Amino acid sequence: MTSMGRIIGTGISALAIMLGGTAVAAPGAHAATGDTTCSDGAGGQLCIKAYSNGYDVSFVDRTWSYRHLDFNIVCSDGTYGDNGGFYLGKGQRGSYFFAVGSKKWCLPAVYDFATHKWYTGSRGLLFYN
C-alpha cells in the first residue's frame, strides 16, 4: 500500500469511529462532475452527486415511519454540516447541496435521531476528484 493509500485508509477508519460505524471501502474510480453514487441501507437510499462547486447529498426514505434525519459530509479537508435536521416519510426524498467546492474525496453521512446512528453507505460512497 502506498503512503497516500495508508493515509486515506487511516482517515476512513477514523471517520468510521467518529460516526460510530464501520469503515467503508473506497471505489477505485475517480468521480467526475455529474456522477452520482448511491447505496441502499438504513431503510432508504443515500446518494451523493458531484458538481464542480460542491456535492448534493440525498436520502430517500423507504420505511413506514416518519423519520427525523440530518446530513453531514466528511471531506478530505474536514466535516461540513447542513442547516439541521429534517423529517421524511415513506417514499419522500430529502437533499442538501454542500457548496464546499471540489475536494480530493467526500463521504456523505445521514444521522437518524431515532436510532442515534450515522449511516455512510454500505458500498462506500467515497468520491475522489
Q: How does pLDDT run across 108-117, given as a tens digit for each residue? A: 999 999 999 9
How is residue 103 written as a grid cell? 475536494
**pTM summary value:** 0.72
- Residues with Cβ within 8 Å of 43's Cβ and at least 6 positions away in sequence, in order, are 61, 62, 63, 67
| Under 8 Å between Cβ of 38 and 46 | yes
Instruction: Specify the higher pLDDT residue, 70 or 28.
Output: 70
> Binning pLDDT at 50, 70 and 90, where does residue 128 land?
low
Domains and CATH numbers, the chain: 3-128 (2.60.40)
Say if residue 25's pLDDT is above 50: no
Place of cell 445521514: 110
Instruction: Specify the higher pLDDT residue, 38 or 31.
Output: 38
Predicted local confidence at residue 53, as pLDDT? 95
Place of cell 426514505: 61
Predicted local confidence at residue 96, as pLDDT? 96
> Binning pLDDT at 50, 70 and 90, where does residue 23 land?
very low
**83-100: b (≥16 Cβ within 10 Å) or e:** eeebebeeeeebebebee
Query: What does the pLDDT look like over 47-106, one tens digit per residue?
Result: 999 999 999 999 999 988 899 999 999 999 999 999 899 999 989 999 999 999 999 888
